[in-house]
Amino acid sequence: MVSVATRAAIDAEIAKMPEKRGALLAALRLVQAEYGYLPPEVMEEVAQIFGLHPTEVFEVVSFYNHFHVQPRGRHEVNVCTSLTCSLRGGRGLLRQLQAYLGVRAGQTTEDGRISLGHEECLGACGNAPMLRIDDTYHLDLDWVRTQQLLDGLE
């Protein structure tokens, strides 16, 4: 069951929209923040809140990159591999990260600390190469700085 606080936050999002379903993405974001991912029974509960069939919720979840149906690491580390970052070494950075963490992009470290991934342009091309750790952008990176950032993660 989603917590009382999350449920209240979902209701507040619903109140902002002309139709209930307009708050579905916001609700999924809130629920995922509580559980770290979207377990099936939680998606069913969301479906119930919105008066939708569970498959309608699954479909939406699978369309968007930010929703996860498997448990994730404590931190999301996503390297930008679009054109400008690639031109300035972004893919090299990703290769080094994979070697350093011992996982491929798309995987989570064994200690559950980091889920490594790559993303398309994050709108910070003027500071390439860059990556995103959870909600924070880190800009103008080289390998030394990237390593420091990783080592600083709990």
Partner 1 sequence: MGHRVPHVTHYLTEHFADPGYTTLSGYRAQGGYETARRVLAEQSPEEVIGTLKNAGLKGRGGAGFDAGLKWSFMPRDQAGPSYLVCNADESEPGSFKDRVLMERGPHQLLEGILIPAFATGAATTFLYIRGEYAEPARILQRAIDEATAGGVLGSNVLGTGFAHQVVLVRGAGAYICGEETGLLESLEGKKGQPRRKPPYPAECGAFGRPTTVNNVETFCHVPHVFARGVDWFRSIGTEESPGTTLFGVSGHVERPGLYELPLGTRLDEIIFEHAGGVPGGRKLKAAIPGGVSMPLLPAGHLDVPMANEFLREHGSSLGTGGVIVMDETTCMVRVGCVISEFFRDESCGQCTQCREGTGWLHKLMLRIERGGGTEADLDVLEDVAGKMEGQTICAFADAAAWPVQALLRHFRSEFLEHVRAEKCPFPESFEL
Helix and strand numbers, DSSP H then E, in the chain: 7, 4
CA distance 117 to 107: 7
Q: Which does 130 bind (CB under 5 to 8 A by kind): partner 1, ligand FES, none?
A: ligand FES
Please state the φ and ψ torsions of residue 101, each to the nearest 5 degrees.
Answer: -90, -15
Q: Which range touches ligand FES (CB under 6 A), out of 5-13, 16-24, 102-110, 118-126?
A: 118-126
Pairing of strands 75-80, 131-133: antiparallel
Of 60 and 103, the one with the shorter C-beta distance to partner 1 is: 60
Interface with partner 1 (CB under 8 A): 16-19, 21-26, 28-29, 50, 59-60, 63-67, 81-84, 86-89, 91-92, 95, 119-128, 132, 135-137
Instruction: Provide, rounded to whole angstroms, the least separation between the CB of residue 152 and partner 1.
Output: 19
Is residue 153 within 8 A of residue 112, CB to CB? The reply is: no
Q: Which residues bind ligand FES (CB under 6 A)?
A: 80, 82-85, 121-125, 128, 130
